Chain A
Amino acid sequence: MSARLPYAYRYLRAKKKFPHVWCPGCGIGIVMGSIIRAIDSLGWELDDILMVSGIGCTSRMPVYVDFNTLHTTHGRALAFGTGAKMANPNLKVLAVMGDGDSMAIGGNHIIHASRRNMDITAIIVNNNNYGMTGGQFSPTTPRGAKTSTTPYGMIEPDFDICKLTEAAGANFVARGDVYHVVELDGIIKKAMSGSGFRVVEALAPCPTNFGRANRQGDAVNMMELLRDNTINIAQADKLPREKTEGKIVRGIFADKNETGYIEIYRKLCDRVSSGVKK
């Protein structure tokens, strides 16, 4: 068979940038595949999409995709994305962030982007630590987990990204993981096709840092942990509480139809420019 390239490769900077820098078994590549499949199934033009990111492992993602891309300062993906969306409302803005990038350094930005209901899809890859700098603890490291800066176990409680953004007013909030990749594909597609601020938290393994520090084995073992320790929201509602205790619930938590910021702003512009006084 001749070297016919699969559909995903049309969206990649395959000749220049591959193989990518992520470690063997890192889940970020799987999330990137999900994003590409979602865009493929929605049939979007590559020039209409802006992928914006900050700093970190996940934020290397715009390097590998062939959309309009913007690689910005640490934690400020949403701030730059907001500016780009305001300047050109026709862009479909995707902000890809890691857990540290979005929750610690860019924590304020995500709260206010949720409050404004800014028309951006935020995809947050949660691997429970700062992978790029050597596995330090992040705001989403679970209590008791070991990292290079918490060798005796994390003593702080962790952030629940979904609860935080839902409370702050995001239109769409969902959690998926890279083992249940078909479900993740559907969640990301649904998030991208909506309006307002949409958040998808994707749980991903970090075998090099988090997995090694917590003796969770290699990439395959960490994928099995994701399989065993997560539960779908529909199943979790049916099962008694003892069986769901300690498991991470995945699924869609909020799917509202509130008007996005861009729509409200456009209406304001129309009202003011038509000569109506205050």
Chain B
Amino acid sequence: MSEKPIKGQTKEEHCETEVKKRPAVHIFPEWCKGCGICVAFCPKQVLEMGKDQKAHVVHPEKCIECALCARRCPEFAVFVSGDSIKESKKKNGGEK
């Protein structure tokens, strides 16, 4: 963490904002076959097709982490580091 916390902000709040800044959507280019489903049905136009016929994250700041791209990706090439993953990790960690 390179930046110093803003005045009046606790350390936890600072960490949270740092987490939010990270891009939530990730694409594995090796698995993407360029069908365009994630790009077409993203409600916030976060993704775009590149010249290499693969999806690219162009506006990560707009992402609302609805994970519809990850759910609709037939190639398992998109994933969203949102709540669903955190929840699932927490749940499985508790069970094991």
A contact set with B: CB distance below 8 Å: 1, 4-9, 12, 14, 18-20, 22-30, 33-34, 37, 40-41, 43, 178-179, 181-182, 185, 207, 218-220, 223
| Residues of B close to A219: CB separation below 8 A | 35-37
Q: Is there contact, CB below 8 Å, between A223 and B73?
A: no
Q: Is the CB of A18 within 8 A of B31?
A: yes
Contacts beyond the supplied A30-B71, A34-B71: 20 A-B pairs with Cβ under 8 Å: A6-B81, A6-B85, A7-B84, A19-B33, A19-B75, A19-B77, A24-B33, A24-B74, A30-B73, A30-B74, A33-B71, A33-B74, A40-B92, A43-B95, A178-B72, A181-B68, A219-B35, A220-B36, A220-B37, A223-B40
- Tell me whether A19 and B74 are in contact (CB under 8 A): no
Q: Is the CB–CB distance between A1 and B22 below 8 Å?
A: yes
- Cα separation A22 to B36 with both chains bound (whole Å): 15
Contact B79 A6 (CB under 8 A): yes
- B89: interface (CB < 8 Å): yes
User: In the complex, A113 Cα to B30 Cα: how many Å?
Assistant: 40
- The distance in angstroms between the C-alpha atoms of A27 and B72, with both chains bound, is 9
Is the CB–CB distance between A43 and B75 below 8 Å?
A: no
B residues apposed to A, CB below 8 Å:
22-23, 26, 30-31, 33-37, 40-41, 68, 70-77, 79-81, 84-85, 88-89, 91-92, 95
In the complex, residue of chain B having the shortest beta-carbon distance to the beta carbon of A182: B71
Q: B74–A29 contact, CB under 8 A?
A: yes
B35 touches A24 (CB 8 A): yes
Q: Is the CB of A33 within 8 A of B76?
A: yes
Knowing A18-B31, A19-B31, say if A28 contacts B74 (CB, 8 Å).
yes
For residue B93, give the distance in angstroms from its CB to the closest CB of chain A.
11
- Bound Cα distance A25, B68 (Å): 15
- Pairs across A and B, CB under 8 Å, 21 listed: A1-B22, A1-B26, A1-B81, A7-B84, A8-B76, A9-B76, A14-B76, A18-B76, A19-B77, A25-B33, A29-B73, A29-B76, A30-B73, A33-B71, A33-B76, A34-B71, A178-B72, A179-B72, A218-B36, A220-B37, A223-B37
